[in-house]
Amino acid sequence: MFTIREAAEMLGVATSTLRRWENEGKIKSVRTTGNHRRYTVEELSKIKKVKPLNEKITVGYCRVSSSDQREDLKRQVELVSMYCTAKGYGFEIIEDLGSGLNYNKKGLTKLIKMIQSNQVERVVINYRDRLIRFGMELIEQICEFHDVKIEVINQTEDKTYEQEMVEDILSILTVFSSRLYGSRSHKSKKLKQMVEEVIKE
C-alpha cells in the first residue's frame, strides 16, 4: 500500500491529479483509520504500468569528460542500452559529464543515492573507468555492501584513456594554479602551457 505522494511519484503526476482521478472514478484508494489515502500497485496499474518502489533495477552509467565528447557519450548510451536489452534487464540510463577525478558529478551522485536506497540490482558500464578513474575500490565496496553487481561490457583498455588522463591532469593543475596565482595570471597560463608541452613529448 502506497501513500498518495508515493503513488503520484510512481505515476509521474501531481497528488492533485490523483485526487481528481479518484473523484472521476478512474482509480480507487483505501482509507486508513486516520482517513489517509492508500493505493495498491494493482490499482495504480489501471492508469499506468508501475514498478513497486522496492523493486530493484539495472542502471547503465555512461560518462565523458567534456562537452565536445557528446558523440562518444551517445555511442556509450547506445551500446549500454543494447547490452541491457539483450540481457533482458529493466534498466535506466544515467548520463554524466565531467572528469573521472570529479566525485561530485550530478549523475554519479544520483547513482550512489540510488544504490544506498537499495533501488539498484546492478550497474552496467562500458569501461571500468567510466564510474571514476581513481578510487573505484570505494565504489565497489559500496556496491558490495548493498548487494549491487557491477558489469563491465568492455574489459579491454579504453581507447580514450590517455586523452582523458591528460585532461584530468590539466584539470587538477588548472584548479591549483588558479588558487595560487589567479585564473587569469601569466604564471597560471604559463604553467598550463608547459605541462601541455611535456605531455605532448
Q: Which residue has 482517513 as its cell numbers?
A: 35
Residue length, the chain? 201
Considering the candidates 29, 65, 99, 188, report the single residue annotated as catalytic. Answer: 65
Q: Which residue has 473523484 as its cell numbers?
A: 23
Q: If we measure between CA atoms, which residue out of 49, 63, 74 comes closest to residue 103?
A: 63
65 catalytic? Reply is: yes
Question: Which residues, at least 6 apart from 29, have a Cβ–Cβ distance to it below 8 Å?
Answer: 4, 22, 37, 38, 39, 43
**Do residues 6 and 53 lie in contact, with contact meaning Cβ atoms separated by under 8 Å?**
yes
- DSSP for 125-190, written as a single string: ESSGGGS-SS-HHHHHHHHHHTT-EEEES--SPPTTHHHHHHHHHHHHHHHHHHHHH-TT-HHHHH
CA distance 18 to 38: 11
Three-state DSSP at 18 gives helix
Three-state DSSP at 195 gives helix
List active site positions.
65
